[in-house]
Amino acid sequence: MDERAFDAPGPVALARLLAREKANAVWARHPNRVVLGADQVVWDGSEVFGKPRDPEDHHRRLAAMRGQHHDLVTAVCMLGPDLDVCFDETTRMHVRADVTDAEIAAYVASGEGSGCAGGYAVEGHGMFLFERIEGDWHNVIGLPVARVLDVLRARGWRYGGVHG
């Protein structure tokens, strides 16, 4: 799915549209299962950042974030028999002001974050870019797990232990 082909009025609507498209694609092949689709976008208040297009775009975006904050929006859609739930979670990310162009160039050259919304992976080396994160850590690394569990538990799911 080419995420750049989709458009919506704002970051939450775009993330929800992308998450629903992903969930629909899987559910069409597995209609008797519960499936989950999720997607993230970065919103700086005026521009939505998805994945960087190329190294130059990657560097430009990270440099523009320096000393600023932005919102990382994750949308989740869960589909299944008698299940159609979508929600979103937003986490505020504060980028260090003292990040140098050389550090950004080295990070871009590493390739880490090139396939991620905003161009960073905080669960890896990309954490050096940030001075503070406000919100759900699990949301930042890709999935607001507690919210997913809330949806499942509201529908009767209970943990049964590890079998193996």
97 φ/ψ angles, rounded to the nearest 5 degrees: -80, -25
CA–CA distances in Å: residue 112 to residues 55, 64, 82, 106, 118: 11, 18, 39, 10, 11
Catalytic (active site) residue 44: no
Catalytic hit among 2, 39, 44, 71:
39
3-class secondary structure, 35: strand
Residues in the chain: 164
Alpha-carbon span 133 to 119, nearest angstrom: 16
Q: Catalytic amino acids? A: 39
